[in-house]
Amino acid sequence: MKKKNRFSFWKISLWLTGINLFWLILALVMIKYVKFPYQTWNPQSFNTPLFLLRMGVSLVFQCLYYYFALNWYYRLIARRASLKRFALASLLLFIACITYAGLNDLTIQKEELKVVLDISLKAFAYGISGLFHILTALAIAAIARQLDEKRDQAENQRVLEQRSSRLEREKLQADYLFLKAQINPHFLHNTLNFLYARALPLSPELSEGILTLSEIMRYSLDHREEEDGKVLLTRELEHVHNVIRLQQLRFGHSLQVRFVLKGDPAGLRILPFILITLVENAFKHGDLRDPDNPAKIELDVSGPGSLHFICSNRKKGGPKELSTGIGLDNSRRRLELTYGENYSLYIKDQLDFFTVDLTITL
């Protein structure tokens, strides 16, 4: 429980006040209308103010007793404490009960109740009373703990179902956006093959660009995924290199791009179109013509079972190119759906530079 005490003092006081009022009314009715055999007690001589004062003191004791007893037993049950701790708690509560009963007995005047009990009978009565209060508190605490556990289990199940439903909706949305992005590339792929055949005898550079773009389209349409939705990292890197090559052809090989690969990516698998999204973002919004500030693309797979990818670039001034495709936000959602807590994606957006840092536990 998040609260320190399971049982509220004021709720306990309210319940005990109601119970005591019920017994008080019942006792007054019996005094007025019921006459027991050999009754020698005269109601006219009854000291009402003192009786009410003692009832008030008794109610205060009961409220304090059950407040501490219920919360104490509840914590012990919740922690699955040992029998030794339960025995110690019960002993202390029992001592509190019989101590109060003894002190209360000393305040009873002979005029109020002319019944003199033997000391052994008094001890027996005190013991029965203390045992009754202990068992009552223990039973209430155990029942409350059982109900709370069932409620917590139902709440946790509801939260898990809501999270599962939300992730499923996001996955469907991401898949829809991904499929939607494939409609035009399918048409372009067939068209580019025709253009490549026509451009080959006319311009080697143009035909190379068309061929590269055709390979990019083919990867977009034929990313041979397995059931886990991942592709070979080598194919994803080939796609990245094709995009870089096409951009260089577009700008006459004037772009300053430095690509560094550490480790062997063979055999590793990754979610498709994650790395390329980060690279495309650098081409769209970066100034890549400055030799002193080239775009830096670094992939490190030398660590066991991990991938570390960094892409940084200088921002371009003037009007920004509109962003299309999956985008950083959708990439983050796809990473969360696939890798859960086994990834981290940090974006550092400075005044002049933009950096994305991706780490995945494969």
pLDDT of 280: 86
Q: Is there a domain that residue 229 lies in?
A: no
At 21 the pLDDT is: 86
CATH number at residue 264: 3.30.565.10
Q: Does 112 reside within a domain?
A: yes
Residue 267 and residue 133 in one domain = no
Range 58-66, long-range pairs (CB < 8 A, 24+ positions): 58/20, 58/104, 59/13, 59/16, 59/17, 59/20, 61/100, 62/16, 62/20, 63/9, 63/12, 63/13, 63/16, 65/93, 65/96, 65/97, 65/100, 65/133, 65/137, 66/7, 66/12, 66/16, 66/133, 66/137
The total of structural domains in the chain comes to 2
Residue 282 lies in a domain: yes
Domain membership of residue 222 (yes or no) is no
Considering 159, 182, 202, which residue would you say is the last residue of a domain?
159
Nearest-angstrom CA–CA distance, 315 and 351:
8
* Same domain assignment for residues 135 and 25: yes
Q: Evaluate whether 232 touches 269 at the Cβ level (below 8 Å).
A: yes
Final residue in a domain of this structure, among 113, 140, 159: 159
Instruction: State the sign of the Cα–Cα–Cα–Cα dihedral 87, 88, 90, 95.
Output: positive
Whether residue 125 sits in one domain with residue 21: yes
Residue 339 domain boundaries = 253-362
* Residue 152 forms part of a structural domain: yes
- pLDDT of 114 reads 42
pLDDT tens-digit profile, the chain (362 residues): 345 678 888 888 898 888 888 887 887 777 666 665 555 555 555 566 766 777 788 888 888 988 998 998 898 888 888 888 888 888 898 888 888 877 777 766 444 444 445 566 777 777 888 888 889 888 998 898 889 888 888 888 888 888 887 887 777 777 656 655 554 555 666 676 666 666 667 777 777 777 777 777 777 666 555 556 788 899 899 989 888 888 888 888 888 999 999 999 988 999 888 898 888 888 888 888 888 889 999 999 988 888 999 999 998 876 655 554 457 888 888 888 888 889 999 999 888 899 999 999 87
pLDDT of residue 1: 39
Per the domain annotation, does 83 fall within a domain? yes
Reported as type and span, the H/E element at residue 344 is: strand 343-349
Q: Where are the alpha helices (DSSP H) in the chain?
A: 9-33, 48-78, 83-106, 119-199, 204-221, 233-250, 275-285, 327-339
263 and 138 share one domain: no
Query: Is there a single domain that holds both residue 155 and residue 26?
Result: yes
Amino acid identity, position 315: K
Decide if 187 is inside a domain: no
pLDDT of 34 reads 64
Same domain, 127 and 15: yes
pLDDT for 323: 52
CA–CA gap between residue 122 and residue 118 (Å, rounded): 6
Q: Which residues of 327-353 are buried (b: 16+ CB within 10 A; e: fewer)?
A: eeebbbbbbebbbeeebebeeeeeeee
How many residues would you count in the chain? 362
The answer to whether residue 121 is domain-embedded is yes
Q: What span, in angstroms and rounded, lies between the C-alpha atoms of 24 and 29?
A: 9
Domain termination site, one of 143, 159, 175 = 159
